[in-house]
Homo-oligomer: A and B are copies of this chain.
Amino acid sequence: MSETKTAHPLTVHVPLNGGRGYDILIGRGLLGQTGARAAALGARAAAIVTDENVAALYADGARASLEAAGLRTCLVVVPPGEASKSYAGYAQVCDGLLAARIERGDLVVALGGGVIGDLAGFAAATLRRGVRFVQAPTTLLAQVDSSVGGKTGINSGHGKNLIGAFHQPRLVLADTASLDTLSEREMRAGYAEVAKYGLINDAAFFAWCEANWAGIFSGGPERDEAVAICCRAKAGVVVRDEFEHGERALLNLGHTFAHALERLTNYDSARLVHGEAVAIGLALAFRFSARLGLCPGQEAGRVANHLALVGLPTRLQAVPGGSGDADALVEAMGQDKKVRDGALTFILARGIGASFIAPGIDRAEVLAFLKAELGAG
């Protein structure tokens, strides 16, 4: 872990009330500061929760940093992949933290991607009815999305993230150098969430992405800038609507489709990872909006073209092994948390940067759209 450029990380503050405000720090080499930052929070012990892949790359360094700062440490390692976001994975993490006698004043450090952040965050939310935690996201997806905002959780056989809690981290350490070890596929998957912020309400940022995406992938200064822009956008939404009574649902642009796709592919990351599902979901949300006459067809085309240019899938037919038929997709959407009294809520768009919450969408409309999409293959 290089310390280069860590003297002045980019900082995004999340000004939540009740003394729960926290900073998101963004920069290369920040994992080397884990210990100093944890000590500044007054912790005497810290448990690093991570997966086997991330442990091999970053656990020793983070642990050494914590111990150099005088903290007692322990390490809880789960298998990599979505399957750890299960009841069994949750029990394993909780019991690991209890065996290490992690107490209310200590810290849980979620070191890894979105799976680890959600799983370790949920364990922290519920261990002794709540201990403090630090997000140390090591994937682009986690840095721009899941590590910010306090949503934590696990999956059930009935669907993704159906069990969980709102529990805000005390600090987010986004070490952008850790993305250097990601596969191209994981970078692309995270990039779908980056593009999403432009599509929601920032057309200028989407245009900036169209011009600068290569710098994000190669690790130029565009990467830190993009992460900071996304975190700032997400922090703003979270502060205005922490518990998703309204505006926060906009962050789910593309996700109603994505969650159904992930469910029908059994969360099998060999076939589909979350960001790929989101890319398809974004393209579908815009084409559905165009079909409903809400959005110009050329805007939907521009969205799909950019996602395809960076190598992301944009059609149901791109799912290896198939996405399931239209009926199965609509049925799978019925388990989404945004369901109210059986009606489906979608995030739709009047154009790039102009998305909105559309409750009460008729299932028959969705079904007809998906049948047309699958027929168009």
Q: List residues of A whose CB falls within 8 A of some B CB.
A: 44, 87, 90-91, 94-95, 98-99, 101, 103-105, 122, 125-130, 151, 153, 156-159, 162-166, 243, 334-335, 337, 339-341
Contacts and interface: CB of A to CB of B under 8 A. Distances in A.
Contacts of A159: 98
Given A44-B341, A95-B158, A165-B165, 17 more contacts: A87-B91, A94-B156, A94-B163, A95-B157, A98-B159, A98-B162, A99-B158, A101-B334, A103-B339, A103-B340, A104-B337, A105-B340, A126-B126, A127-B163, A128-B162, A129-B151, A129-B165
Contacts of A105: 340-341
Contacts of A98: 156, 158-159, 162, 335
B129 A166 contact: yes
A156 B95 contact: yes
Contacts of A339: 101, 103
Contacts of A103: 339-341
A128 B91 CA distance: 18
Nearest to A164: B129
B162 A335 contact: no
A238 to B, nearest CB: 14
A330 B369 CA distance: 65
